[in-house]
Structure 1
Amino acid sequence: MALDTAQLVSQIQAWGQELAFSQIGVADVDLSSAEPGLQAWLSAGWHGDMAYMAAHGMKRARPAELLPGTVSVITARMDYLPREAPEGWQALEFARLENPGEAVVSMYARGRDYHKVLRNRLQKLAERIQGAVGPLGHRVFTDSAPVLEVELAQRSGQGWRGKNTLVLNREGGSMFFLGEIYVDLALPATEAVSDHCGACSACIDVCPTQAITAPQRLDARRCISYLTIEHAGAIPEELRAPMGNRIYGCDDCQLICPWNKFARRSPLADFDAREGLSGSTLLELFGWSEGEFLRRTEGSPIRRIGHERWLRNIAVALGNALRASRDEHVLSALGARADHPSDLVREHVAWALSQAV
């Protein structure tokens, strides 16, 4: 008896819901139309230090090269807005940015490492499929390999590419993670949706560093998320003041997006904010020893930047706070790190202290 693939897709979507995915889609593997845009972005150097982007070249746009035998990609979306997010959470998050002494961590990073959460659940979904169809060549991904996630999500109807380059969904905004299962099973693609940004340019206008150079064009080298997470060296001086009190990531282009009034809270405790990563002061977090940093960020995406970059980021934020108010406690905390063994930390601490002049 022939496999009813349309019925199988419906079944996969139902299983996905049971695993806390908000939506499951299917895309084909011909992404050739995305290659010129990817090549232009790489050629312009907008990927900055992310050498892995260039190293994999066009493999990102060629799923069957990444995993030979792949003929379909199952895409998944998982909401991450914390369960306890109050009504008016966007305004609350913007208010944090107005409090120079508060340490602001991007909302997605306040809970458990999403890579682990999604990967485990995608693997369970793949096992359910395999149980139904027999041997299945597959591999799960979540921001972990050369995969054109946004392109695949857009093609499979998860949403459209917003002007900030993120996927936007009419029922879920953009506060969600994406994941994929590459499979060697031909499945009917789910239908793409149309763009609903219209004339809105709120995300472009709000970006503190003007990293969104045009609709759907992001110069990662100017993006605060890139600077605080991916970038290993010194943060360019002209971009330090615009960072404000953002010490890991930046949510501004999502907070301002009108579609995020529809963002959904996650049903999972995994994305609840950990103690210390929401509402803490810069001084508290700057005081963490390396051991305390490792202990408090265990199982968190923040751990990957290491203690040195953590101190670098907070030093910049403390410098910005110092410019706003010559606080003796801030001066004292920075002074205590002025002779740090790391050149990177010392340089940013020196800059921060210079902001008191």
Structure 2
Amino acid sequence: MAKSIASIREKIRADALSEGFDAVAFTPAEAPEIQGKRLDAFLEDGFHGQMQWMAESRDRRASPTAMWPEARTALVLVMNYAPDHDPMDNLKPRDRGNISVYARGRDYHQVLKGRLKQIAGRIAAREGVEVKVFVDTAPLMEKPLAARAGLGWQGKHTNMVSRDYGSWLFLGVILTNADWAEVPEESEHCGSCTACLDICPTNAFPEPFRLDARRCISYLTIEHEGPIPREFRRPMGNRIFGCDDCLAVCPWNRFAEAGRESRLQALPGMVMPPLTELLALDEAGFRARFAGTPVRRAGIDGFRRNLLIAAGNSKNSTMISMIKDFLHSDNEG
């Protein structure tokens, strides 16, 4: 007797929950046309900054079928990583560095990808279909797919928002050549709220639903190479890797419970580490301290640049002395 699509979906949902995901939904493997237009506007305005790979992968990024023509359904999975405290409180101690919540634990790419492969393997074996796994590394627009799948909507800060989990969401996608899609698209529930736009310390949102990455502290502290423009240094405060402000102030977070996945929770020394301690790290120390975490993405030079800006913003005499030592060392080199 042939299996019903509903029963197949239920088994996949059970698989997803058993692997620590909070929700899974099924949507056609097609990006809404409006997303392609928004991507083009983003690139044409130069909002991608130095992320040239976004322009180079534009055609593949516009639709899942551009990467895999046989794709029919996108299984979009959500994992909540909400913190157990208000991250805005972490901006107050200026002698300590603030690392974005998502980067305090193990690298989510590895955590989610391993779980997705387990689920995808079971699906392929059980249903005899082809599958491909994606976690924010290939040119796939996960957020529009998640919205189309009914898992939430893209807020005015351009990130996903869920009525159940707020703004603290990791997304993973499994593409398959099977026709299992539903179309329960979630409508946008931001209303007149502009909290995420108003809180941005660098005014990175030229208008609702549009982000100029060149002004975003997350981009500047992680992706941007070279000196950070002076106009953004003071607004960075003690942020040394990423920024959570627009996520943290979303009113929908009041419905979010703290994330359950232990590997995504903060490792020792990752919440508010002393800047003096981090400034003393050499390259080997940096690699060892941040092994297996997203922070290594910045590299020692980029991370040290961020630390020096945070140290200057602290106006702490000890750290000002350390900054002078770094500058003196660079001049001698």
C-alpha contact 1:165 1:216 (8 A) present in aligned 2 = yes
Please say if 1:100 is aligned against 2:94: yes
Gap runs ≥5 in structure 2 = none
Amino acid at match of 1:215: P
Q: Distance in 2 between matches of 1:10 and 1:238?
A: 52
Match 2:180 to one of 181, 184, 187? 187
The alignment partner of 2:74 has SS state of: strand
| 1:206-221 paired onto structure 2 within 5 Å | 206-221=199-214
1:218 is paired with a residue whose SS is coil
- Whether 1:119 aligns to 2:106 is no
Deviates more, 1:205-214 or 1:272-281: 272-281
Structure 1 residue 341, shift from structure 2 partner? 5.1
Query: Over residues 104-150 of structure 1, what are the superposed CA-to-partner deviations in whole Å (9 max), with x where a residue is unaligned?
Result: 0000100000000000001111011112102x322111110101111
Q: What is residue 123 of structure 2 aligned with on the other side?
A: 129
Q: When the two structures are superposed, what TM-score results if normalisation uses the length of structure 2? A: 0.96
CA contact (8 A) 1:207 1:252 kept: yes
Q: CA deviation at 1:79?
A: 1.0
- Judge conservation of contact 2:287–2:296 (CA < 8 Å) in 1: yes
Aligned to 1:237: 230
Indicate if the aligned counterparts of 2:59 and 2:66 stay in contact, CA closer than 8 A: no
* Contact 1:122-1:179 within 8 A present in 2 as well: yes
2:42 is the alignment partner of 1:41 = yes
Amino acid at match of 1:9: R
> Per the alignment, do residues 128 and 99 of structure 1 end up closer, same or farther by CA in structure 2, a change over 3 Å counting?
same
Structure 2 counterpart of 1:126, one-letter code = A
- Aligned-partner residue type, residue 78 of structure 2: R
Change (3 A) 1:153 1:340: farther
Is contact 2:94–2:238 with CA below 8 Å preserved after alignment?
yes
Contact 2:73 2:176 in 1 (8 A): yes
Does the CA contact (< 8 Å) of 1:24 and 1:74 recur in 2?
yes
Q: Does 1:18 align with 2:18?
A: yes
The aligned length equals 332
1:283-294 equivalences under 5 Å are 283-294=276-287
Query: SS where residue 283 of structure 1 aligns?
Result: helix
Distance of 2:331 and 2:206 partners within structure 1: 34
CA distance in 2, matches of 1:340, 1:222: 30
- Separation (CA, whole Å) in 2 of partners of 1:304 and 1:273: 17
User: What's the counterpart of residue 247 of structure 2?
Assistant: 254
**Structure 1 pair 158/340, CA: closer, same or farther in 2 (3 Å)?**
farther
Question: How far does residue 40 in structure 1 lie from its aligned partner after superposition?
Answer: 1.0
Equivalent AA in structure 2 for residue 123 of structure 1: K
Alpha-carbon distance, 1:22 to partner: 0.7
RMSD of the alignment, in Å?
Answer: 1.6
- Aligned residue runs from structure 1 range 46-195, under 5 A: 46-82=47-83, 85=84, 89-90=85-86, 93-134=87-128, 136-195=129-188
Alignment CA distance shift 1:44-1:342 (3 Å): farther
**1:173-192, Cα deviation, whole Å (9 max, x unpaired):** 01120110111111122411
3-state SS of paired residue (1:275) = coil
Residue type of the alignment partner of 1:110: R
Residue 8 of structure 2 aligns with an amino acid whose one-letter code is: L
Instruction: Give the distance between the partners of 1:172 and 1:331, measured in 2 at CA.
Output: 41
1:331 to 311, 316, 320: 320
Give TM-score, length-normalised by structure 1.
0.89
Question: In the TM superposition, what is the alpha-carbon distance from 1:340 to its structure 2 partner?
Answer: 4.5
Amino acid at match of 2:60: K
- The corresponding residue for 1:353 is none
What letter corresponds to residue 333 of structure 1 in structure 2? M
Cα distance in structure 1, aligned partners of 2:329 and 2:173:
42
